[in-house]
Amino acid sequence: MKHSGNRRTFLLIGLLAAIALVFAACAAPAAAPSTGAEQPAAGAAAGLPAEPGRGTDGTVTLVYWQEISILNPYLASGTKDFHAASLILEPLLEFNQDSELVPALAVEVPTLENGGVSEDLMSITYKLKDGIVWADGTPLTADDFVFTWEYCTAPLTGCTVQNFVAVANVEAVDPQTVKITFRAPAPYPYIPFVGYLSPVLQKAQFENCVGEAAQACSDQNTNPIGTGPYKVKEFRANDTVVYEINENYRHPDKPHFAEVVIKGAEDASSSARAVLETGEADYGWNLQVEPAVLLDMEAKGLGTLMASFGGNVERILINFTNPDPALGDKRSVWSPDDPNPHPFLTDIAVRKALSLAIDRNIIAEQLYGPAGKPTCNLLAGPPAVASTNNDACLTQDIAAANALLDEAGYVDSNGDGVRETPDGQPLKILYQTSTNSVRQKTQALIQQWWKEIGIETELKNVEAAVFFGGDPASPDTLNKFYTDVQMFTNGPDNPDPQQYLSNWLCQVEGEYVIQTPANNWGGSNVERWCSPEYDALYETLKSATGEERAQIAIQLNDMIVQNYVAIPLVFRASVSAHANSLIGPAIGGFESEEWNIEDWHRAR
């Protein structure tokens, strides 16, 4: 007995020891010594030199509640990845806080006047700044740009950036000169290699990562070699990125921070808390928090909110086809021979009444606060292309909406509070959007207003991953549009609206681009609205320049809005916050928020 008791004790101890060993083995890396001790994020203001020099200002901590997954923008999976990559990789030109072009790697902004843009608008030629080297010390040459273009356009790379769509060729005229040729005249040529979406990659590093190999190039994708102020010190996917200074950066006095940390957080409100309430972080990105809560946090005086308006507009899209499930395969399907019209939404009176009944001011003020203002335009920014012809929609007018419907013959004949079409179909609308508390509150408000004009609305929300996803098998994607109306945000990627306005085209080069099963729901015209006048006017935009161009863009916007193809609601801004001890952040709507991080420094 005694013996076996001892053996049992021994076994028990052994078991515990084994568990402890597993723990020790797994926990060991955390305790491993490493050089360079961490410094507290904020409040390191003491002991700074009078003027900021290179690396004099310690560490700056940025909180991103969507964690960084990858640092190669061409394979990025979200805006946050593009931002994180912009500390390392640089384009030829970038946008400043006022959305004006400023040179980054290029000597100047090429224009028609200085001869950088060819007379026929078919090409643009950039001169590179002298003496720029990559972080590894090798020189940047025009070949790197040629390579980057080839990399992104190789079909199997899976490139997520579309800045090269209009490019026919990129050539290295000489090591310091890059010439980009377009497929068609490009009155706005500042798309390829401009802005944070399309920086230049190092050919030597990515040479073996083109095409199918791109996805497996883990080291390259998480530690790209760049020309920018920082390089990766440590990358922990979906958690933290630590950057250190690129010693080969071209400005001898910049960047001022020796280290940058981008840290993940649970959600937007914990990001806001870390910057505005506890002061643990210096910068918080995209703080989509209830307006009242956010302004309350700002009132504590630790940090300041900033809003940047690009061109994003939250809108309700109208389905011009019939989404009735009884139609089976023909549900929401448009074809040139059979437009499959919606029973009542194809009537402009109904669409206009839907718009009239909405109070955009309440939605913007109550639900968006600093992050949005009411708008009547789908092309709401930048200011040069924003129309002023539709501002009447800012006033809600339920009576006018009711009168309009009465006049058009939609009356409530059976007294159930819901109007019917002349042939007896009730005005019932299914309204879908992605799952998101602000969107659900918007839906509830609009449902109430539409009820006041005798239209019954059923609400539906779909998980964002499904709604915005490209799964051709799912019935709930925004592309299939199996409902009467749907709501989401979209906007131009750069200050020029040409690409964005192409979303309402019916035909491109003779091919229909409305989403149908034939193109695997891959078209761009989600509303399924087909207007030859719009297409014709868009043709003239393709060659217009200057003021004329802006005027045509405004007319195109007015055409969509005044036909109520989509109902704009809120012009949305991205709201970020910086600690008051941090000087330098200046955000615009079309550029990475860290575009000028080399100038950021501590208050002194």
Partner 1 sequence: MGTYILRRILTAIPTLLFISFVIFALLALSPGDPTANLPPSLPMEIKLQIRESLGMNQPMPIRYVRWLQQFMINEPINAFEKATGISIGDSEGRLRITSWTARGKPVIDLVFERLPQTLWVVGLAYLLSIVIAVPVGVYAAYRQNSFFDQASSVLAVIGFSLPTFFTGVLVIQIFAVWLGWFPSLYNTTLRVTDFDSFLQQLRQMIMPVMVLAFFQVATVSRFARSSSIENLRQDYVRTARSKGLAERMVVTRHVVRNSMIPVVTLIALGIPGIFGGAIVTEQIFAVNGIGQLLIISIQSNDLPVVQTVLMIFAVLVVVFNLIADIAYGILDPRIRYN
Q: Restricting to residues 97-116, which ones interact with partner 1 according to CB under 8 A?
A: none
Q: By the 8 A CB rule, do 481 and 323 touch?
A: yes
Stretch of 140-148, 198-206, 259-267, 357-365 contacting partner 1, by CB under 8 A: 259-267
| Least Å from the CB of residue 192 to partner 1 | 16
Handedness of CA 347, 352, 358, 363 (dihedral sign): positive
Nearer to partner 1, 106 or 316 (CB): 316
> Applying CB under 8 A, which of residues 174, 416, 471, 548 lies at the interface with partner 1?
471
Nearest Cα neighbor of 52 from 234, 294, 229, 277 is 229
Residue from the set 409, 417, 472, 517 that interacts with partner 1 by CB under 8 A: 472
Would you list the DSSP string of 397-439? -HHHHHHHHHHTT-B-SSSSS--B-TTS-B-EEEEEEES-HHH
Nearer to partner 1, 425 or 520 (CB): 520
Task: Kindly identify the residues of this chain, within the stretch 267-326, that bind partner 1 according to CB under 8 A.
Answer: 270, 273-274, 277-278, 280-281
| Cβ-based nearer residue to partner 1, 132 or 217 | 217
Cβ closest to partner 1, residue 28 vs residue 50: 28
Whole-angstrom distance, CA of residue 464 vs CA of residue 337: 33
Among 217, 418, 459, 583, binds partner 1 (CB under 8 A): 217
Taking CA atoms, 91 is separated from 58, 455, 531, in Å, by 27, 50, 37
Q: What is the helix, strand, coil percentage profile of the chain, to 5?
A: 30, 20, 45
If one counts every other C-beta atom within 10 angstroms of the C-beta of residue 558, the result is: 18
Site track 434-463 with partner 1 (rule: CB under 8 A), x = hit: -----------------------------x
Piece of the chain touching partner 1 by CB under 8 A; list 335-343, 422-430, 465-473, 530-538: 465-473
CB of 490 to partner 1, least distance (A): 5
Query: Roughly how many angstroms between the first and final C-alpha of the chain, as a whole number?
Result: 77
Query: Could you tell me the two tokens for 307?
Result: 């809003």
CA-nearest of 219, 41, 220, 76 to 592 is: 76
Query: Of the ranges 48-56, 141-149, 207-215, 408-416, which one interacts with partner 1 (CB under 8 A)?
Result: 207-215
Q: Please pick, from the candidates 57, 282, 314, 476, the single residue that binds partner 1 as defined by CB under 8 A.
A: 476
Nearer to partner 1, 141 or 377 (CB): 377
Among 151, 488, 538, 600, binds partner 1 (CB under 8 A): 488
Interface residue with partner 1 among 210, 466, 544, 586 (CB under 8 A) is 466
CA 510 vs CA 513, 535, 560: distances in Å = 9, 11, 21
Q: Report the C-alpha dihedral over residues 581, 585, 587, 592, rounded to 10 degrees.
A: -120
Shortest distance, position 303 Cβ to partner 1, whole Å? 14
Task: Out of 232, 265, 506, 552, point to the residue binding partner 1 (CB under 8 A).
Answer: 265
Q: Which is nearer to partner 1, 404 or 526 (CB)?
A: 526
The burial class, CB within 10 Å (0-12 / 13-18 / 19+), for 334 is: buried
Q: Which stretch binds partner 1 (CB under 8 A): 77-85, 95-103, 185-193, 592-600?
A: 77-85
Identity at 44, one-letter amino acid code: A
Which residues, numbered 501-560, are part of the site for partner 1 (CB under 8 A)? Answer: 515, 519-524
Least gap, CB of 98 to partner 1 (angstroms): 22
Q: Which residue in this structure is represented by tokens 């929609």?
A: 393
CB of 36 to partner 1, least distance (A): 9
Q: Which amino acid is at 544?
A: A
Joined tokens for residue 62? 């940025």
Q: What kind and span of H or E run contains 547? A: helix 546-562
The DSSP secondary structure of 267-315, one letter per residue, reads SHHHHHHHHHTS---SEE------HHHHHHHHTTSSEEEEEEEEEEEEE
Q: Is 242 in the site for partner 1 (CB under 8 A)?
A: yes
Alpha-carbon gap, residue 513 to 504, rounded angstroms:
9
Residue 20 parent element (H or E):
helix 2-31
- Interacting residues with partner 1 between 136 and 175 (CB under 8 A): 155-160, 162
183 belongs to the binding site for partner 1 (CB under 8 A): no
Helix (H, G, I), strand (E, B) or coil at 539: helix
From 127, 179, 256, 263, residue interacting with partner 1 (rule: CB under 8 A): 263
Closer to partner 1 by Cβ: residue 315 or 351: 315
Question: Helices (H), strands (E): how many in the chain?
Answer: 15, 20
Shortest distance in whole angstroms from residue 26 CB to partner 1: 5
The interface with partner 1 within residues 29-68 (CB under 8 A) comprises 29-34, 37-38, 63, 67
Residue from 500, 529, 595, 600 that binds partner 1 (CB under 8 A)?
A: 500
For residue 489, the minimal CB distance to partner 1 (Å) is 7
Return the number of the residue (415 or 510) whose C-beta is nearest partner 1: 510
Closest separation in Å from C-beta 481 to partner 1: 12
